[in-house]
DNA sequence: CAACACAAAGTAG
DNA sequence: CTACTTTGTGTTG
């Protein structure tokens, strides 16, 4: 069967990218992960910025819940201004809306 | 080679 | 102690 993992293997993606994307899919509903956390999961702690690059180049806009990825600061503040960025359609505004819809508290 | 959707440590006050 | 600056990291253009 064509799992997402299989598709990722088909595409011309680097190992790091593939791991990151898989980690994003693994994020439970209503939960958020920081870029640093993802970086650590894929085995490259400190490469948070690289993770951001991957999300930005995200090959599957809907399949990959890149909106659940936020800066580590957000984990502490939950502030809307520390939500980070979002390249997909709708921008940061849409990102916030999605998170709220999924049950993630976002302070104004 | 330079830029980027970040993070953590170091320096200055 | 808080605030700003610098370095690390991997992908993409």
For strand B, is any atom closer than 7 Å to the CB of A17?
A: no
Predicted confidence (pLDDT) at residue A12 exceeds the cutoff of 90: no
| Adjacent-strand bridge partners of A34 | A70
For strand B, is any atom closer than 7 Å to the CB of A106?
A: no
How confident is the model at residue A16, as a pLDDT?
A: 96
* Predicted TM-score (pTM) of this structure: 0.92
Residue with tokens 């502030």: A79
- Under the banding of pLDDT at 50, 70 and 90, the label for residue A92 is very high
CA–C1' nearest nucleotide, residue A48: B6
Predicted confidence (pLDDT) at residue A9 exceeds the cutoff of 90: no
Residue with tokens 């948070």: A48
Task: Encode A90-101 in three state secondary structure.
Answer: CHHHHHHHHHHH
Please identify residues in chain A, positions 38-57, with a C-beta within 7 angstroms of any atom of strand B.
46, 48-53, 55-56
**Averaged over A24-53, what is the pLDDT?**
95
């Amino acid at each position: 069967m064509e799992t997402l993992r299989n598709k990722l293997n088909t595409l011309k993606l680097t190992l790091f990218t593939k791991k990151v994307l898989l980690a994003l899919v693994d994020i439970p509903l209503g939960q958020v992960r920081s870029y640093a956390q993802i970086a650590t999961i894929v085995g490259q702690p400190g490469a948070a910025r690289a993770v951001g690059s991957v999300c930005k180049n995200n090959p599957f806009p809907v399949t990959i819940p890149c909106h659940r990825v936020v800066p580590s600061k957000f984990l502490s503040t939950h502030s809307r201004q520390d939500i980070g960025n979002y390249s997909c359609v709708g921008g940061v505004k849409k990102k916030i809306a999605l998170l709220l819809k999924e049950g993630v508290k976002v302070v104004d």
